[in-house]
Amino acid sequence: MYKELIINVTEHETRVALLEDGTIVELFVERPDNADIAGNIYKGRVQRVLPGMQAAFIDIGLQQAAFIYVDDVDGNHHEDLVQRFNDINEEDQALVSGPEDHESVGVSSNQRVPIEDLISEGQEILVQVAKSPIGTKGARVTSYISLPGRFLVLMPNSNHVGISRRIEDETERDRLRNMVLDLKGEDGLGYIVRTASEGIQKEKLAYEMSFLKDLWKNIQKKYKRAPALSLLHQEIAITLRAVRDLLIHEADRLIVDSREQYESILSFLDMFNPKLKDSVELYEGVESIFDAYNLEADISRSLKRKVWLKSGGYIVIEQTEALVAIDVNTGRYVGVHNLEETILKTNLEAVKEIAYQIRLRDIGGIIIIDFIDMEKKANQEKVFNALKEAFKRDRSKTHILPISEMGLIQMTRKRVRRPLNRMLCEPCFYCDGEGYLLSKQSICYNIYREIIRQAQDMMGVRLTLKVNPRIAELLHGEESHLISDAEKTIGKQIVIYPNAQFHLEQFDIFELLKD
C-alpha cells in the first residue's frame, strides 16, 4: 500500500492528510487558538482531590482544569511501569495513535496507594498532557513523563528497558536491549526502544540517549525555577510530528505547499534521518494542494450525518456525549435475487464505509453499530469478520464484540483527540445542536396557549404578536383559526407582526393600552 502525507499550510491553519493509495484516511488540523497540547509538560497545582473517584483536578493554566487518575500519579511506583506508558507515549502523545512500539509489561494494581495519600490541594506537580481537552472535558494528565525521540522513548519515572513488539527477531531484541543497558549505565532512567532502532549502530543510539537526557535535565531545571501554571516543554509542531510519527515510520512520500515548512522538515530530517529527505517534495502548483489531490469533497462528506453507499444503501452516524450510534439501511438498493442476499451485500458494503468514516472522523469511545438484521448465522459471522479485518489498518486501539442477538455490534475505539466534526464544526446556532426544531404547527399551538395564559393579566385593548415570518404566514393562513379562537376567548384583537430577526420558535406578546 502506497502512503502519502499531504500538508497544507496557511497563516491561520495547518492540515495534514494521510492518504492510502490516493484515498484520504486520516486528517489532522491545527490552528493557533486550538492547538493540540498532547505531550506538553506543565508545572501545575493540585486544585481539588476527589477520594471518591480516586482522581484529582490539576490547574495547568488552561481554561479547564486538567484531570489526573490515581494510577497516573507518581508514587504508585513499580519497577515495571511500561504498561502505563502503552497508553500515553505512542498513542496519546504522538500525532497519530497506534499500538506502535511498546513491550507490554503487566503492572499489579493491588499495591495502589490512595490518591489522597499521594497529593494534596495546593501542591505543585509536574505533569504531562496525555489527552488534549475534548468537548467539555479538560485535558487528562499524568505525572509519568515520557519523551519520544526517533529511536528511543525516555521514561524518567522508570528504570525499565523495553523493546518494540514490532521487532520480532530475538537476536536483534537482545542486541538492542544489551546496547541500551550498556549505554544507560546507572542513570536510573527507563527507555523504550522503538521500531526504527532495528539494525541501528550504537553511536546513533548514544547520541539520541544523550539528547533526551539533556532535554529531561532542562525540564527539571525549568520546573525548579518556574512558577506554578507554567509550560515547561512544548511538543513539536504538527508538520514535524507528521514527519516523526508518519513519514519516518510508514509513509512513502510527503508533499507540503509551504517553502518555510519544507525547509524546516528537511532540517529536522538532517538530524534524525537524512536518507528520507528525498521523500519530501515541495508543491508549487497554482491550485490548492488539497484540491489538486481531490481531498475537499471527502472531508466535506465526513461531516455529514448520512453517508450514501455505492449500491444505494446508506449509513447514518449519530454522535452523542456518551457514545456513537451507526445505523445501516438498504435505502434505494433492492437487490437482484433474494432479501437475505440484499441485506448481506448492503451490510458488507457498509462495513468498509463504517471503518473508513470512523478512522477519518477520528471517532472514539463506545460505538454501537446497528446492521440490517440477518437470519443466517454464517452471514453474521461474515459481517463481523469483515469489520475486524477493516480495522486492522487503524492505529487506534479497537475492541469489537460479536453481533448480539439484537443484531448490534458493540465496539470501542481509543479516544485521543476531538473527533473531526467537533474540530471543524460548532453546534447549530439555530437549534443549539439539538438537530430538531419544533414543527411550525406546534409553535402556533404554543403561541395560542401563551396568549390565553398571558391575556388574563393584561388590561390592554389589543394584543400585538411578533413572530418569525414563516409563523406569521401560517397564522394568517392554515392556522388562522387559532387566532380567531384566541380573540373570542380573551375578547381582544390580536395583531400579528412578522420579524425576520426572530428564531423560528421565538415570539413576543405585547399589550396595547390605547387605540
Mean per-residue pLDDT of the chain: 86
Instruction: Report the C-alpha gap between 124 and 59 in whole angstroms.
Output: 9
Q: How confident is the model at residue 335 (pLDDT cuts 50, 70, 90)?
A: low
Where is pLDDT greater, at 473 or 36? 473
DSSP 318-342: EE-SSEEEEEEE-TT---SS-HHHH
Of the listed ranges 74-78, 268-272, 279-283, 435-439, the least confidently predicted one is: 74-78
Burial class (CB in 10 A: 0-12, 13-18, 19+), 325: middle
Residue 134 DSSP label: B
Report which residue type is found at 161.
V
136: pLDDT strictly greater than 50 = yes
How many contiguous H segments (helices) and E segments (strands) does the chain have? Answer: 13, 24
118 pLDDT tier (thresholds 50, 70, 90): very high
Report which of 60, 72, 41, 96 is spatially closest to residue 229, judged by C-alpha positions: 60
Give the residue ranges of DSSP H helices in 432-478. Answer: 440-455, 469-476
Per-residue pLDDT, averaged over 395-419, amounts to: 88
What does the pLDDT read at residue 111? Answer: 60
**Confidence band, pLDDT 50/70/90 cuts, at residue 337:** low
CA distance 194 to 161: 11
Give me the percent of the chain exceeding a pLDDT of 90.
57
Which amino acid does the sequence have at 490? I
Cα distances (angstroms) measured from residue 443 to each of 48, 212, 496:
45, 64, 14
- Enter the C-alpha cell of residue 501: 430577526
* pLDDT at res. 296: 92
Cell digits of residue 59: 490547574
- Give CA angle at 24 (19, 28), nearest 5°: 90
Q: What pLDDT does residue 425 have?
A: 84
pLDDT score of 237: 84
Q: What is the pLDDT of residue 44?
A: 95
Give the residue among 270, 293, 302, 247 at the shortest CA–CA distance from 95: 247
Rounded to whole angstroms, the Cα distance separating 27 from 359 reads: 9
Is the pLDDT at 88 greater than 90? The verdict is no
DSSP 236: P
Phi, psi of 448 (to 5 degrees): -60, -50
Confidence of residue 258 (pLDDT cuts 50, 70, 90): very high
| Radius of gyration, CA atoms only, the chain | 29
Query: For 369-403, what is each residue's pLDDT tens digit?
Result: 999 998 899 999 999 999 999 998 888 889 999 99
pLDDT score recorded for residue 85: 44
pLDDT per position as a tens digit, 217-235? 999 999 999 999 999 998 8
**Secondary element (H or E) of residue 169:** none
Segment holding 468, helix H or strand E = none
Answer yes or no: is pLDDT of 76 > 70. no
| Angle, helices 469-476/480-490, rounded to nearest 10 degrees | 80
Widest pairwise Cα distance in the chain: 99
The whole-angstrom separation of Cα 433 and Cα 443 is 19
- Residues ≥6 apart with Cβ < 8 Å to 294: none
Q: What local confidence, expressed as pLDDT, does residue 226 receive?
A: 93
User: Mean pLDDT, to the nearest integer, of 266-284?
Assistant: 89
Q: Residues 445-459: pLDDT tens digits?
A: 999 999 988 887 777
Q: Containing H/E element for 387?
A: helix 377-390
- pLDDT value of residue 200: 87
Count of other CB atoms within 10 angstroms of residue 189: 20
The C-alpha atoms of residue 168 and residue 172 are separated, in whole angstroms, by 8
Pull the grid cell for residue 241.
510530528
Backbone angles phi, psi at 382, to 5 degrees: -60, -45
Cell of 250: 510508514
Is the pLDDT score of 103 beyond 50? no
10 Å CB burial of residue 141 (0-12, 13-18, 19+) is buried
**Ramachandran assignment for 185, one of left (phi > 0), alpha (psi -120 to 50 degrees), beta (any other):** left
